[in-house]
Amino acid sequence: ARGAAQAGGARVLTATDVHVSDYPTVAAVRWIGETLQRETGGALGIRLYHSGQLGRESEAIDMARFGAIDITRVYSGALNNAFPLTRALCLPYAFDSVAHMRRAMDEGVGDAVLRGFEQRGLVGLAIYDSGARCFYNTRRPIVEPHDLHGLKIRVPVSDIFIRMLRDFGANPTPLSLGEVFSGMETHMIDGAENNIRSFHSSRHFEAAHYWSRSEHSYAPDVLLVSRRSFDALSPRERGLLVETARESVKVMRGLWDESESKALQAVREHGVEFNDVDLAAFRAAARPLLDEYRRDAAIDALYRRIRELA
């Protein structure tokens, strides 16, 4: 693209993210851009549009596929239906811990999922893990799935999450993220689920005082580049981009861990009550959903590989 791509003879790749400027994924992509620029003597760089300036994630995927933008960072949950392999990463209790998640991504599972993007005009660059998703609510500590009964919990519009919440006995309520805060304050909904960093940055802790460590999903983020843009690069640039993106995972993880502990401390200071859950009971409740998704041979193979690395 002329406007962005040819700034003074240099090629500039456009990248989008819905997160704010200092979010770990945004910082990681910025690091990629700086590295590319250094390595190519300024011939290749990245122009970053953070904070959702160029639209939501659902649109970003298609914009990249049609070549309107070059690189985008999206949440894997938004990719489940178009890219079936990403389902394996979102399934409840597929991963036991952040360490397990990272090990699996580094040892084959990540590459397998990334290759799956090629069927629809994209090239998978990296998988950024984004912590464990847990339940938070305005009512009570959630210890067993039973404690979710009758609670209206906001979920992202994702078939896996909707089904999972239903299986746990909650009333999954699709609501746009912007309405969640007011929704909890007026008790239209009782809670939501997310990672601790988003719990902090969305300020939802001002309304919800119970954080239950259910760790029900580790659904990560994915960094993608448009196939068209990728093919337009020289072989050397392609190799450099792939390699730099791979290295950026370490950068991202470092920033993530740092910001996660800051977020944890901030919400703790605000008086949010933390509790452990009966993980065995939650795992059992998630069983039927897992079994159903594992009927797909490709997903099952990935799932087995993930569990081998536990």
Partner 1 sequence: MGIAILFLVFAVLLAIGVPVAFALAAAALATLFYLDLPPVVLVQQLAAGTGSASLIAIPLFVFAGELMLRGGISERLIALAASLVGRLRGGLGQVSILSSLFFGGVSGSAIADVSAVGGTMIPQMVKRGYDRDFAVNVSITAALVALLVPPSHNLILYSAAAGGGLSIADLFAAGIVPALLMTVVLMLTGYLVARRRGYGVEPFPGMRALLLRLVSALPGLGLVALIFVGIRAGIFTAVESAAIAVVYALAVTGLLYRQLRGAEFIAAVTHAARTSGAILFVIAAAAAFGWLLAYLQVPAATVQALQSVADDKAAVLLLIVVSLLLLGTFMDLAPLILICTPIFLPVAKAYGIDPIHFGLVLVLAGGLGLVTPPVGSVLFIGAAIGKIGIGQALRTIWPFWLAGLAVLLVVAFFPQLSLWLPALLKS
Partner 2 sequence: MSDATTPTAPASSLQGAMDRLSRIVVGLAAAALLGLVLVQGWQVIARYVLNDSPSWTEPVTVLLLSTTMSLGAAAGVHERRHFSFALLAEALSPGLRHAMHLLAQLAVVLIGAVLAWWGTVLFADGLGIRAAGAALPQSANYLPMAVGGALMALFAAVQLAGEFRGDGGAH
Binding site for partner 1 (CB under 8 A): 1-5, 14, 20-23, 49-56, 59, 62-63, 66-68, 175-176, 178-179, 181-183, 185-189, 200-203, 206
DSSP assignment of 64-81, as one string? HHTTSSSEEEEEGGGGTT
Exposure string of 27-57, with b = 16+ CB inside 10 Å and e = fewer, is bbbbbbbebbbebbeeebbbbbbbeeebbeb
CA–CA distance, 193 with 201 (Å, rounded to integer):
13
Shortest Å, Cβ 201 to partner 1: 3
Count of residues in the chain:
310
Give min distance, CB of 39 to partner 2, in A. Answer: 35
Q: Judged by CB, which is closer to partner 1: 38, or 262?
A: 262
Give residues in contact with partner 2 (CB under 8 A).
62, 80-82, 150, 152, 157-159, 162, 171-174
**Nearest approach, Cβ of 243 to partner 2 (angstroms)?**
31
The residues with which 45 forms a beta bridge, in sequence order, are: 12
Q: Which is nearer to partner 2, 30 or 163 (CB)?
A: 163
265 binds, among partner 1, partner 2, none (CB under 5 to 8 A by kind): none
Q: Do 82 and 52 contact (CB within 8 A), yes or no?
A: no
Answer for the pair 90, 158: CB distance below 8 angstroms, yes or no.
yes
Of the candidates 160, 159, 194, 188, the residue with the CA atom closest to the CA atom of residue 175: 188
Tokens 């979102």 belong to 90
**What is the smallest separation between the CB atom of 20 and partner 2, expressed in angstroms?**
25
With a CB cutoff of 8 Å and minimum separation 6, the contacts of 151 are 137, 139, 170, 171, 190, 191
CB of 188 to partner 1, least distance (A): 4
CB of 286 to partner 2, least distance (A): 18
Q: For partner 1, give the closer residue by CB, 186 or 297.
A: 186
Through-space distance between the first and last CA atoms of the chain, rounded to whole angstroms: 44
Q: Are 173 and 155 in contact (CB under 8 A)?
A: yes
Beta bridge partners of 73: 223
In the complex, minimum distance from the CB of residue 4 to partner 2, in angstroms, rounded to a whole number:
21
**Spatial separation of the C-alpha atoms in residues 111 and 192, rounded to whole Å:** 31
Judged by beta carbon, residue 130 or residue 201, the one nearer partner 1 is 201
Q: Closer CB to partner 1, residue 52 or residue 108?
A: 52
Interaction partner, residue 119 (partner 1, partner 2, none; CB < 5-8 Å by kind) = none
For partner 2, give the closer residue by CB, 16 or 158: 158
Question: Could you tell me whether strands 10-16 and 71-75 are parallel, antiparallel, or unpaired per DSSP bridges?
Answer: parallel
- Smaller CB distance to partner 1: residue 171 or 202? 202
